Structure 1
Amino acid sequence: MLRAATDNDVDEMRRLRNQQANREVSITSHEIGAAEHAAWWAKASGDPARRVLIYERDGGTAGVVNFFDLEGAAGAWGFFLDADGLAERGETLPAWIEVMREATAYAFDELGLDVLTGEVLEHNTVVRQMNRRFRFTEGTPERRYADGRELTVIPISLRREDRRQGKKA
């Protein structure tokens, strides 16, 4: 289930984002401090072109979905999961499929987007494979430098008409 993030979620969002597995596949890979995170939340929570959602699974926080640059019928997104907790419970794959299904439905059905964009690091082959499963297409890779690393970042996009539909009831 997805729900809007609140001030009460700030510490948990930072804890999940700082998990090693999430930092390794993020453009900014440093551990995010409390002040940096508080400044981000102050800006993000008041931004009308952004939605920060909490992904809940079995009654607990299992991830964060971030929609941003929402303008007209286009927007970008990213997400991260509770990599440590889900792996410990053997729930990573089902949670990952569920959050992608719910987030893309939210983008197209709730936000009314026609195109959803994002980015993935070239070395993140597992996410790239899952993106293809959900019919995202990859654009031209670009080189970037962040946190002292040279990265290859691949833009992704999904058009409303190309999205993978859930099973009909």
Structure 2
Amino acid sequence: MLREATGDDVNLMLSWRNQEINRQASKTSHVITADEHARWWAVVRTDPTRRVLVYVRDGVPSGVVTFFDLRVSGPATGSWGFYLDADGLAARGETLPAWLEVMREAVDHAFDDLGLDRLEGEVLGHNAVVRQMNRRFRFVEGTPRTEISDGREITVIPISLDRANRRRR
């Protein structure tokens, strides 16, 4: 289940974002400080082009889905990303089912609730497992580009999924 994030979720979101596996899969790999996170939260909670949702699995908050750059005029488009409570899900033996569920719910939310025609995102080139999962959900990869972030060179691959190509249950 996805629900709107609230101020009560801020510390949980920060702790998940700072888990090593999430930092290495992100463009910014440094440990996010409480002040940096508070500034982000102050901006996103009032920005009409953004949504922050908490993924809840079996009643336990277990991840974050963000939608940003939402445009509703012309073809409705937006970008997205997510991260999970990797440590908590691994301890419960629920990583793969949670990953499948959060992706399914996020794609459904993008097209059914937000009314998007196209959903976009990015994946790091070294993240073969995420790239494979994206293909399973019918995301198409664009042309990779090289960036420098947090002092490291990364390959960023744009991804997209059109409403007509989404996988239906």
TM-score range, shorter chain: over 0.9
Match of residue 154, structure 1, among 157, 162, 165: 157
Query: How much has 1:38 moved relative to structure 2?
Result: 0.1
Which of 108, 115, 120 is the aligned partner of 2:118?
115
Measure, in 2, the Cα distance between the counterparts of 1:44 and 1:129.
Answer: 29
Whole-Å Cα distance in 2 between the matches of residues 112 and 85 of structure 1?
Answer: 32
Report matched runs for 1:1-169 at 5 Å. 1-72=1-72, 73-166=76-169
Q: CA deviation at 1:89?
A: 1.1
1:165 maps to a residue whose letter is R
Q: State the 1:60 CA deviation.
A: 1.0
3-state SS, counterpart of residue 46 of structure 1: coil
Residue 16 of structure 1 aligns with an amino acid whose one-letter code is: W
Q: Distance in 1 between matches of 2:116 and 2:142?
A: 19
**Alpha-carbon separation, structure 1, partners of 2:26 and 2:3:** 23
Q: What stretches of structure 1 of length at least 5 have no aligned partner?
A: none
Instruction: Provide the secondary structure at the position in 2 that maps to 1:53.
Output: strand
1:67-102 CA-partner distances (Å, limit 9, x unpaired): 000012000000000111111111000000000000
Secondary structure of 1:47's match? coil
The structure 1 segments of at least 4 consecutive aligned residues displaced by more than 2 Å after TM superposition are none
| Number of aligned positions between the proteins | 166
Return the alpha-carbon distance in structure 2 between the equivalents of residues 84 and 96 of structure 1: 13
- Residue 19 of structure 2 aligns with an amino acid whose one-letter code is Q
CA RMSD in angstroms comes to 0.4
Length-normalised TM-score, structure 2? 0.98
For 1:27-69, what per-residue CA distance to the aligned partner results, in whole angstroms no more than 9, with x for missing partners?
0000000000000000000100000000000111110000000
Secondary structure of residue in 1 paired with 2:107? helix
Q: How far apart, in 2, do the equivalents of 1:101 and 1:118 lie?
A: 15
